[in-house]
Amino acid sequence: MPAPRRFSRRRLQESALALVDAEGLGALSMRSLAAALGTGAMTLYNYVEGREGLEELLVEAVMAEAVCEGVPSDDWRADVRALATATWRAVRAHPDVIPLILTRRTFDEATLVQGEALLDALARGGRSGAGLLVGLRVVTGYVMGFAQAELAGPLSAGRGESVSAITDRVRALPPERFPRLIDAAATAAGSDPRAEFAAGLEVVVAGLDAAPPA
C-alpha cells in the first residue's frame, strides 16, 4: 500500500559511515546526513528511531565488518585470538565511531554472533558457568579497553591533532615524578599498535590458560 521506500538501511549506514569517517563524529546530525542523502531531515525518522537509532545504525555498520573466518577451529586459543582481533580491526578502521561503540551496549546481529562464538571457544577451553562469564568479560573488556586507549593515543592521529599529541604531553611532565610514564610514552610512540594488541592478547590468553576456571 505505501509509497516505496527511497532508501535502504544499508544505504543509510554507508552514507552515515562515510560522513563520519570523512568529517568526524561532530559532523553527523540529522540534517547533515539527510543532506548527504539529498532529502530532508524529517525523512530520516521514517528509517531510524531518532538520534539514538541513528547512532545504533552506525555501530551496527562497524561491527558488521568484524568478520572472522575459520572459527570455530579445533584450537580454542586460536579462536579467541581470531575473534578478538577481528573485532578490534573493525573498530580500528573507523576510529571516529569508537565513542559511540564505547558508550553503548550493542545488540546487533554481528556482536551477538561474535559473543556466542567467543563463549563457545572459551567453553572448549574448559570454562563454564561463572568462570565462562569471567572469561568473556576479560576478553571483551580487553578489546574495548584497548580501543579506548586508541581514542586519542599515540597509536592513532586524532582529527587535527599530531600523531603524538599525547606523547608530547606526557613528555612535558615532571620527570622526577613520572619517570616510568614518560618512558612508556616514548616506547609507545615507536611501537606498532598491531604488535601491541597481539602481545596484550597473548597475556590475556595466557591468563585464561593459567587461571583456574573456578
Partner DNA sequence: CAGCTTCACGTACACCGTACCTAAAACCTT
Partner DNA sequence: AAGGTTTTAGGTACGGTGTACGTGAAGCTG
CA atoms within 13 A on the CB side of 102: 19
Among 9, 10, 11, 51, binds DNA (CB under 7 A): 51
Among 10, 18, 22, 50, binds DNA (CB under 7 A): 50
Q: What phi, psi does 162 have (nearest 5°)?
A: -65, 155
> Which of its own copies, DNA, none has residue 41 at its interface (CB below 5 to 8 Å by kind)?
DNA
Judged by phi (left if over 0) then psi (alpha if -120 to 50, else beta), residue 73 lies in beta
Binders of DNA among 20-39, rule CB under 7 A?
28-32, 39
Residue 15 C-beta: closest distance to DNA, Å: 13
Residue 131 C-beta: closest distance to its own copies, Å: 8
**In terms of DSSP H, where are the helices of the chain?**
9-23, 30-37, 50-63, 76-92, 98-102, 109-124, 129-149, 165-171, 179-189, 193-210
Nearest residue to 119 via CA among 140, 101, 105: 140
50 versus 175: smaller Cβ distance to DNA: 50
Under the binding rule (CB under 8 A), the answer on residue 18 touching its own copies is no
Grid cell, residue 8, equals 535502504
Binders of its own copies among 155-184, rule CB under 8 A?
166, 169, 173, 177-181, 184
7 versus 158: smaller Cβ distance to its own copies: 158
Binders of its own copies among 128-157, rule CB under 8 A?
129-138, 140-146, 148-149, 151-153
User: How far apart are the C-alpha atoms of 154 and 193, rounded to whole Å?
Assistant: 9
The vertex-149 CA angle with 59 and 183, nearest 5°, equals: 165
Under the binding rule (CB under 8 A), the answer on residue 41 touching its own copies is no
Binding site for DNA (CB under 7 A): 1-7, 28-32, 39-43, 45-47, 50-52
